[in-house]
Amino acid sequence: MNKFLITGSAGFIGSALALNLLNRGEKVVGIDNHNNYYDPKLKEARLKRHLNHPNYQHYRVDIGNREKIEEIFQLEEFDYVINLAAQAGVRYSLENPFAYIDSNLVGFFNILEFSKVYKVKHFVYASSSSIYGLNSNQPFSEHDGIAHPVSLYAATKKANELIAHSYSHLYNLPTSGLRFFTVYGPYDRPDMALQKFAKAILSGEEIQVFNFGNHKRDFTYIDDIVEGIIKVVYFPAEGSNNWNRNKPDPSSSSAPYKVYNIGNNKPVSIMSYIEELEKCFGMEAKKKFLPIQPGDVEDTYADIQNLSEQFGYKPKTSIKKGIAEFAKWYQQYY
């Protein structure tokens, strides 16, 4: 039995991951600050699924609280750390940039530093497909450069990867960054497109369709995201003997450092995404077509070759099935 720390454990991905690990017989310690970025009742509903499990311990703490975080590390003695806590949302970063610095940089650093101090076996953390920014070379590959983010959120995620590499190099701490591609499914966030669309359709209101409906997204179902995390976390990153300083590959290093895309590898147009939801509800959406929003990436498409070759990763959930599962949950929950 291993002991895992999951930060953001009342979040969409964190809670689903905690359930998976507990079902595998592992011990899980969760940290979440339960902030009010969206309705905290949804966080409580997620947490309720595993809060009383005998192998689960929960702390209501902000990862920016350095003293409290060190106390937890000292007390719990973790084998593995999975840092999912972050201020999410590209658009909100235009309104409240300080929240991204506090959580995604200061908080991230606290978890990384104490992972080093208390010698965890593997530090795994959430990155994002948003970091590809102005890069239009698709599918997005970890081997491509990511020097041009188009939002502060994306910039903080790129910074996480850079800081993690420095720690892998300096302290031989195995780190793996996971670039998630548009995660969706039951219990997802209310600020994400699927919940916004569902609410508008069922209430007869207009849905806002940005980029005039021309977006494509590599929508990835929550279970497939969790599967990818599980496949990576048990195998601490190792330095590559073939890594070439003259032609540096951004996806790896001579240090124990890796980054991986976790996506569905099948981009879907936003209009097709909406149509599947309309079918589930038996209602047609009223649509308002708008220009692309500042900070948005036009299209996303995950190259998952690295994850597939190294770990046998293969996403299993079609958009049709995934949206049907979401719609069923949404109507039951709300």
Residue-range domain boundaries for the chain: 3-188+221-263+301-315
Helix (H, G, I), strand (E, B) or coil at 253: coil
200: confidence class by pLDDT, cuts 50, 70, 90: very high
pLDDT over threshold 80, residue 295: no
Tokens of 133: 């920014």
Nearest to 110 by CA among 167, 168, 78, 70: 70
Q: What are phi and psi of 140, to 5 degrees?
A: -65, 125
- Distance, in Å, from the CA atom of 83 to the CA atom of 79, rounded to the nearest integer, reads 13
For residue 80, indicate whether it is catalytic. no
Residues in contact with 189: Cβ distance below 8 Å, sequence separation at least 6, in sequence order: 12, 38, 42, 88, 195
Nearest to 219 by CA among 304, 136, 146, 318: 318
pLDDT score at 212: 81
pLDDT over threshold 90, residue 292: no
- Domain 3-188+221-263+301-315: homologous superfamily in CATH: NAD(P)-binding Rossmann-like Domain (3.40.50.720)
pLDDT over threshold 90, residue 302: yes
pLDDT score at 130: 92
Contact 80, 124 (CB under 8 A): yes
pLDDT score at 293: 78
Q: Which of 153, 221, 273, 301 is catalytic?
A: 153
pLDDT score at 146: 86
Give the global pTM.
0.95
Nearest to 104 by CA among 152, 149, 173: 152
